Amino acid sequence: MSGKLNIAVMAGGPSAERAVSLRSGAAVAAALRSLGHAVNELDPQTADWDLPAKTDVVFLALHGTYGEDGTVQNQLDRRGVPYTGCDAEASRLAFDKVLTKQCCLAAGVPTAKYLVVNSASAGFPDNLPLPLVVKPVRQGSSVGLQFVERPADWPAALAESLKFDSAVLVEEKIIGRETTVGILGGNVLPVVEVRPKAGSYDYQNKYTAGATEYFCPADFAAATTGRIQAAALGAFRAIGGRDYARVDVMVRPDGSPVVLEVNTLPGMTETSLLPKAAAAAGMNYARLCQRMVDLALARKTARGDARIRAARSALRV
């Protein structure tokens, strides 16, 4: 474990998921302080933010636009400060649900049939089977999520989803069991099954206490569990992920997995899904936060070692 560090926890920001991000950030900050670190909490609501002096590492607890789309990662790269989670390019790819699907298809990772719509006047897509899922291309996983059970539902669902982005992803609704899989340091964590008590796993059910049941490790046969985890890891690698992420996977009745999307900065409240999976693997919340910090610092050390090796090599010439 690292010694005492100066850690900036970035949470809040300008996205539609600001409130949840603040909750993630507060939980992370409390955990890191419990380990003896000096923690500053930074809410980048506007572009003129700056890091506290002598910041060793940034813990990103941002969600949604700006935090997960590669923007803040690019800014931190320019500052030369290590930060937790995926790099700017992987974040950009994962935040765009269409680019994620393209990466998955290219890598042979199973994903749902889809098309893209960018007009509220678009006609009903006859080439996809009902029911359909409609969601913004570039937003958090449950923001603007709509379901189309019959053609009459289409205009309202499309209009609502387009409120959150200029383009929406329309895909076949996979009927089966809903799961999510955490990736941490190259290792696949136990599968979490998500079961809303009523309706679908939308924004309300996700963030309303008691509205959804979670089972971890999920009760699947060993072979099915292996397929789910392999699909999740394949999607993570397909977008060039590093350190950690959470991959949402539907499981058909025959046990075949279908990847929905990759969340590069998943929720980090103590009851969020990635911490649940880590706990099932024997890692408590504080240790999980420390592990994320250590992964970020390892890159800083590796870069420093590379510069030292290059300098030594130059001296030998």
Question: Of 56, 267, 272, 291, which one is the catalytic site residue?
Answer: 267
Asked if residue 161 lies in contact with residue 168, where contact means CB atoms within 8 angstroms, the answer is yes
Amino acid at 73: Q
Dist CA 170 CA 121 (whole Å): 14
Dist CA 283 CA 244 (whole Å): 14
Structure tokens at 299: 């890159």
Asked if residue 37 lies in contact with residue 294, where contact means CB atoms within 8 angstroms, the answer is no
Amino acid at 7: I
Q: For 186-203, b where at least 16 C-beta lie within 10 A, e where not — what string?
A: eebbbbbbbebeeeebbb
Question: Of 114, 203, 207, 214, which one is the catalytic site residue?
Answer: 207
Helices (H), ranges, the chain: 18-34, 71-79, 88-95, 97-107, 154-161, 203-207, 222-238, 273-280, 285-316
Question: Of 15, 21, 141, 205, which one is the catalytic site residue?
Answer: 141
Structure tokens at 34: 């419990």
Quick check: is 248 catalytic? yes
Quick check: is 193 catalytic? no
Question: Of 92, 138, 246, 291, which one is the catalytic site residue?
Answer: 246
Question: Of 12, 13, 15, 17, which one is the catalytic site residue?
Answer: 17
Question: Of 165, 227, 261, 285, which one is the catalytic site residue?
Answer: 261
Asked if residue 166 lies in contact with residue 119, where contact means CB atoms within 8 angstroms, the answer is no
Quick check: is 186 catalytic? no
Quick check: is 17 catalytic? yes
Query: Whats the size of the chain, residue-wise?
Result: 317
Dist CA 10 CA 31 (whole Å): 14
Quick check: is 267 catalytic? yes
Hey, how many other C-beta atoms are within 10 angstroms of the C-beta on 303? 12
Quick check: is 178 catalytic? no
Q: Which residues are catalytic?
A: 17, 141, 207, 246, 248, 261, 263, 267
